[in-house]
Structure 1
Amino acid sequence: MKKALILFSFLILFASTGKAQTVLPAQYQELVKKLTANLPKSANLNQKESSTNSTSLIDFAKSMLGIPYRYATSNPKIGFDCSGFVSYVFSNFGFKVPRSSVEFSATGKVTSLENAKVGDVLIFTGSNPRVRRIGHVGIVYSIDSEGIKFIHSTSGKAHGVTITEFNEYYKSRFMKIVTIL
């Protein structure tokens, strides 16, 4: 059983790195194809790590719910503005991210709402959706049949770190979404 597990791990390792065809003997190549046939095309060894990182990232962000909004601040003892909150959360996990909401549009990899994942960064206009200039950011908190929820620091009604539905108001302000994890 131990040998089978080691062989299986070895096969998955090389299949996920794309080297199965050139590294494995021909007799194992068919086995690799069968074992990996049902894996998503993007499956690789970092997929679990990314999932764990997004869970840890959201848990950390959630621990700051209720910290007050404070313009131009990224200090949990004083408060956060939107980009201060997002940059503080990502920086805690070793990511080098910008401090301003405008700079987030040039960070990470642009994706679509249909391909959004927990941990992605939503980029919005400022509070006036007619002025199509970046002015707000938040982190995708959850995605389910009800839609997307995101965690952010808002100067609005909640006046601090809160979880908000990606509702019609925020859809009208939506500019883009980027993946950093």
Structure 2
Amino acid sequence: MLGAGLNTNVARADQVDRDFQLARQQLDISPSLSLSPSPSSSFLQRTSSNLNEVTDRALELLGVRYRRGGNSPERGFDCSGFVDHVFKSIGTLLPRTSREMSRRGEAVEKDELQPGDLVFFNTMRRTFSHVGIYLGNHRFVHAPASGGKVRVDDMREKYWGRRYNGARRVQAD
């Protein structure tokens, strides 16, 4: 019986690894990604390794189930718990709710988004009720609603496009 459980965990780990590699390919995220932050930024300049670390950590969590109030891979994530967990893993502390996160950092125009920026949506008839992490190429990773799992979506999809509220670039701690 122990062997069967081990085989299941190995198979799940292999599937997560395949999903992670596929997501990186689809998003065209390479380890040598180099982005220049806007010159007007008064915040600590993020390096390409920091950007890769944020997006890599986020993509490693693909498939973790949604749980309202959740903030760990073991218990599941809600949207802000997911973002908080990813940024905390690289040493950056964020507030716990998406609304509070929307007040941190510097506002970013949609056409100036960079991987690692926070993107916000109105999904509950109030602004800044949902948050995800921008990956590039109009895609973002997030923990969707009940019954869902951490996944990548395209901001150009009708649902997300109509609900987009803005983006923030947070300061690294």
Do they superpose with TM above 0.5? yes
3-state SS in 2 of match to 1:138: strand
Retained in 1: the 8 A contact 2:54–2:87?
yes
Higher relative contact order (CA 8 A, sep 6+): 2
- Report the counterpart of residue 134 of structure 2 in structure 1: 140
Retained in 2: the 8 A contact 1:104–1:123?
no
* Alignment match of 2:143 (pick from 120, 136, 153): 153
TM-score, normalised with respect to structure 1: 0.67
Retained in 2: the 8 A contact 1:140–1:150?
yes
Displacement of 1:168 in angstroms is 2.0
* Alignment match of 2:101 (pick from 78, 101, 104): 104
Displacement of 1:169 in angstroms is 1.2
Change over 3 Å in CA distance of 1:90–1:172 after alignment to 2? same
3-state SS in 2 of match to 1:160: coil
Structure 2 gap ranges (5+): 1-35
Identity of aligned residues (%): 31
Matched residue type, 2:139: K
TM-score, normalised with respect to structure 2: 0.70
Residues matched between the structures, number: 132
Displacement of 1:161 in angstroms is 0.5
Computed over aligned residues only, the root mean square deviation of the Cα atoms, in angstroms, reads 2.2
Structure 1 segments of 4+ aligned residues over 4 angstroms from their partners:
none
Structure 1 gap ranges (5+): 1-38
Rg larger in structure:
1
Retained in 2: the 8 A contact 1:154–1:162?
yes
